[in-house]
Amino acid sequence: MAIDLSGPFVRRPVATTLLAIGITLLGILAFRMLPVASLPEVEFPTIQVTANLPGADPDTVASSVATPLERQFSSIAGITDMTSVSYTGSVRIVIQFDLDRDVNGAARDVQAAINAALSRLPSDLNGVPTYRKVNPAEAPVMALALTSQTDGIPQLYDAASTLLQQKLLQTEGVGDVQVGGGALPAVRVDLDGQRMRQQGVSLEQVRQLLVGANARGAKGNLQVGDDDYAITSDDSLQQAERYRPLVVRDNAGAVTHLSDLGTVTDSTENIRSYGLMNGQPGVALIISKQPGANVVETVDRIRAQIPELQAVVPATMHLDVLLDRTQTTRASLHEVELTLVISVLLVIAVTAAFFRDWRATLVPAVAVPLSLLGTFAVMWALGYSLNILSLMALIVAAGFVVDDAIVVVENIMRHLQMGKSRVDAALDGAREVGFTVFSISISLVAVFIPLLLMSGLVGRLFREFSVTLAAAVLVSMVVSLTITPMMSRMLLRAKPGGDQGHGHGVSERSVYARTLRWTLLRPRLMAWITAGVVIAGLAVFVVMPKGFFPQQDTGLLLGQVYGPQDSSFAQMRTRFTDVVARIRKNPSVDQVIGVIGASTGSASNAGALYVTLKPLGEREDSADAVIDQLRGTFADEAAMQVTLQAVQDIGVGGRQAAGQYQYTLAADRLDVLQEAVPRVEQALRRLPQITDVSSDLQDGSLKAQVEVDRAAASRLGVSLQTIDQALYDAFGQRQVSTIYREMNQYHVVMGLTPEQAGDPRTLEQIHVSSDASDQLVPLSAVSHWSEKKTSISQSHQGQFPAVTLSYNLSPGVSLGPAQRAVQQAIDGLHLDPAIKPQAAGSAKEFTNTLKAMPLLILTALLAVYIVLGMLYESFRHPLTILSTLPSAGIGALVALAMCGFEFSIIALVGVILLIGIVKKNAILMIDFALQVERAEGRSPQEAILRASLVRFRPIMMTTLAALLGAVPLVIGAGYGSEFRRPLGAAIIGGLMLSQLLTLYSTPAIYVLMDRFGASRSNRNPS
């Protein structure tokens, strides 16, 4: 079948040249305007809701705050996952929506649900619950450190939260800014219980005094004649020294001042918070981007603001960048761009080696960059970015966009050698292979249909990859049928003696010609070999280890540190300082941010680590090797559990966890989970496939359970509310009054002295007021206390109590075998039927993707079959073409195994690409054979023999071009090579084996299919 699309362009060289210039200019402009990113922007519609109930234990927060909010959120449409973690005084709820849900619309629904739930929330909730559009599973894009040699932590935190945080949140693309490592300044009133007993003063009396110390109310205006005076008063005390003289009690001239009952100092709101910036005390600003925001553009805007940010804080404070995710992103893109250039040069070198004619080489040498430039224009029009996957698509495309030009140029050269004029040769040669080029391109685009239609994270990630590759194929087809024939007309010349370059004419005298004739006489043997290859490929696929995405080295580690659940904050601070110091000693570590305590938004015994590694060129070890070294460093640390994981560009899930992979146990009763989790954790620790096993069930903390003697309390006139208030006043770091200043609001915090607040025996010494008399009543007279175990935090999954177990993979272990081992270990425990175990985060997404892999490959095959069947109006010929695929599949699997790669999502994409690439050889043969059968009336065996020999050179050239174009993917190093190398290995292995076999199997199966069709026609002569 001939398609004459080239005629007008061959006859009008000026117009065609201007078209090429236009594509070039448009492509260059588009390339300069394309944004830069690490990966395609996949907007995870995730919203985080936070609420605070100061002083409340995790059980109270979970039941009175988390549960009412979760019930209201559960009615919102499109929720895929909802988790919450309740700590002492606060709760964090993370709501994940379907990827198709608009995050702004989801945010409006969340706000409406919060408003609806307000009537069910405690009245003493500290403000209204707030939300942010941010995914906690994503690593921060940037971290700034504020330090000083003279200013204290409260002053640093005040400058960071009051001045810097607000300016950063106003920056386009910034989703959240967490300030960690300290707390706001405050006036602290640390009361001595013994002095209070001696003075006969209760905690509640002091609280009432402090509440009234700051009124700050409206006072009106004073009209004096024509003058209007605003009335103000000194009703707000700003410094600690103003609070010390306050009179608590005046008993017949015996005055008790606040300073007589304890110490009043300018201090901090929360003494249980601490931060280290490279070993120096300071505060950190941890910056996360908004869903869908471009990470590079966001960081560039922040960096541009740093001089301005430094100017707004006092000169004694220093603002430094300690973490920048985009440094590795930029380096990775530079590596990919270099790989793309090398691939293009190798492809051109292949054509030069075969053509041995600078004129013939120049035509495809122009077609390749022109096709890529046209693809840049399409990417810009679609709003895509330059990222690892889109550039990988262009690298792969460089290997086969040249195919179309090679096929056209080679055929035109063949017609020139027939003695035709340059115009006739260009017209006839392009017309003869027009349908072949069209078939190759359309069937290759059809391969990407399953990826385009695939849902979930993988589908979204590879949509841009697939469209970019499809655009490159289609642009190449247009260039090859328009500009390439015109350039061939202008440049190509017939060679004397019929020499058309290396590989042409040799095939008829070569081993290939003789061996091909031998196999055509034994087509059944080749069919059995093909069937054997199919069986071998399936067997290799089944046993090959499966993985999700290749483990990246992004130069950033995230860590979590857990101390003993019953340890004091002073002990935790000392141990944490030692942990940071030991990490900094590793020669591959560049920067370390460490934050513990209340500012981390987690349990009181937990800390967070952000470890930046030195650039790859300055360190010998990979990120995983550094983690393994640090794992050994802390192997002898019994008191602290330190877990680290390498940050990945692809973050799945809505929860922060100690390990990269998670498994969740949910039940309707917490006690069932508390009994089962230790067994599960112990079973997982015994598995050699995983390491760093931990759970977020921390029920080993101590609590002082106060049991009230209600009869005694009633008799002595002490209410339960009075007891609760006294305990909160004494131990809750209670914020009892607000200090108003120009830039922020601060608090007066009261409580017992740290020494007394840390001694449970103080519970027996507290005195409370009585409604029955003026005398204070010892708390021991109406209650007693006992020591019990409690949880530091409480988690929910979809409104049910849940526990998440986290783990990392052991070195050299793939996710697939590890997942099976985890599932088998849990199944072997025969847990209570009320417990619902399920994979979470990346592990869950991997399980779903693993199930879809065979269907995805089958769908791609079916799509190609349908397209080829429509193009050739045949049921048989598409099967002949698809018979080339098994050898490519097993070649890809063998190459992956030899290189030590697992079968990951990237490898799957490589196999799908091979479906489109290797069928080209069969199309070149079959299309020409059909033309010979129709035009010359030859038998199928004679036609396919001639087609194989005539098409031998373009087949070899196009295969080698694609193969060598993929070589830089495999040999490349640097950032991002973890994604490139498996793709290159799969393509090279598949092309090598398929090239070796299909040169023989395709002609043999073509003959068999023709015999099969003839026998059916004989049986059905109608």
Residue 505 reports pLDDT greater than 60? no
Name the token pair of 75. 């009615």
Residue 73 reports pLDDT greater than 90? yes
DSSP-derived secondary structure for 798-833: TTEEEEEEEEEEPTT--HHHHHHHHHHHHHTT---T
For 709-835, strand residue ranges (E) read 734-740, 745-752, 767-768, 777-778, 783-790, 794-797, 800-809
Residue 680 and residue 798 in one domain? yes
The three-state secondary structure class of 250 is strand
Average confidence (pLDDT) over 177-193: 90
Query: How does pLDDT run across 289-333, given as a tens digit for each residue?
Result: 887 678 888 999 999 999 999 999 999 999 999 889 888 888 888
Q: Does residue 605 belong to any structural domain of this protein?
A: no
Nearest-angstrom CA–CA distance, 260 and 262:
6
Query: How does pLDDT run across 91-124, given as a tens digit for each residue?
Result: 999 998 888 888 889 999 999 999 999 989 988 7
Residue 369 and residue 514 in one domain? yes
Most confident of 390-404, 523-537, 572-586, 834-848: 572-586
Residue 439 reports pLDDT greater than 70? yes
> How many other C-beta atoms are found inside a 10 Å radius of the C-beta of residue 27?
23
Q: Where are the alpha helices (DSSP H) in 544-568?
A: none
* pLDDT level of residue 137 (50, 70, 90 thresholds): low
Residue 449 reports pLDDT greater than 70? yes
Nearest-angstrom CA–CA distance, 818 and 808:
9
CATH code of the domain covering residue 672: 3.30.70.1320
Residue 340 and residue 470 in one domain? yes
Q: If you count them, how many residues does the chain have?
A: 1022
Residue 980 and residue 857 in one domain? yes
Q: Does residue 633 belong to any structural domain of this protein?
A: no
Query: How does pLDDT run across 584-620, given as a tens digit for each residue?
Result: 999 999 999 999 876 555 566 788 899 999 988 888 8
Query: How does pLDDT run across 649-677, given as a tens digit for each residue?
Result: 776 665 667 778 888 888 888 888 888 88
Nearest-angstrom CA–CA distance, 576 and 592:
12
Residue 794 and residue 737 in one domain? no
Q: Does residue 154 belong to any structural domain of this protein?
A: no
Name the token pair of 935. 């035009």
The three-state secondary structure class of 63 is helix
Name the token pair of 27. 């492509």
Residue 737 and residue 692 in one domain? no
CATH code of the domain covering residue 207: 3.30.2090.10
Q: Does residue 99 belong to any structural domain of this protein?
A: no
Residue 467 and residue 392 in one domain? yes
Place of tokens 């979970």: 62
* pLDDT level of residue 502 (50, 70, 90 thresholds): very low
Query: How does pLDDT run across 467-490, given as a tens digit for each residue?
Result: 998 899 899 899 988 998 898 888
Residue 803 and residue 851 in one domain? no
CA 492: distance to chain centroid?
51
Decide: 627 and 646 in contact? Cβ < 8 Å: yes
The pTM of this model reads: 0.78
For the chain, the average pLDDT equals 84
pLDDT score for 532 = 85
418: domain range? 7-39+329-495+510-543+847-1019
Query: How does pLDDT run across 739-758, given as a tens digit for each residue?
Result: 888 788 888 999 999 888 87
More reliable by pLDDT, 330 or 216: 330
Residue 739 and residue 803 in one domain? no
Residue 128: left if φ>0, alpha if ψ -120 to 50, beta else—which one? beta
More reliable by pLDDT, 270 or 165: 165
Residue 718 and residue 684 in one domain? no
* Final residue in a domain of this structure, among 748, 763, 781: 781
pLDDT score for 28 = 93
Name the token pair of 863. 């799509």
Residue 381 and residue 473 in one domain? yes
Residue 824 and residue 942 in one domain? no
CATH code of the domain covering residue 351: 1.20.1640.10
Residue 26's alpha-carbon distances to 13, 375, 379, 620, in angstroms, are 20, 10, 12, 43
Q: Does residue 283 belong to any structural domain of this protein?
A: no
Structural domain count of the chain: 3
Q: Does residue 102 belong to any structural domain of this protein?
A: no
Q: Does residue 650 belong to any structural domain of this protein?
A: no
Residue 569 reports pLDDT greater than 60? yes
Pairing of strands 745-752, 185-191: parallel
CA 442: distance to chain centroid?
33
Decide: 887 and 960 in contact? Cβ < 8 Å: no
- % of the chain beyond a pLDDT of 70: 94
Residue 22 reports pLDDT greater than 90? yes
Average confidence (pLDDT) over 385-403: 82
Q: Does residue 479 belong to any structural domain of this protein?
A: yes
Residue 612's alpha-carbon distances to 143, 277, 553, in angstroms, are 10, 12, 11
- Interacting residues of 169 by C-beta distance below 8 A, sequence separation 6+: 176, 177
Crossing angle between the packed helical segments 358-381 and 13-33, to the nearest 10 degrees: 50
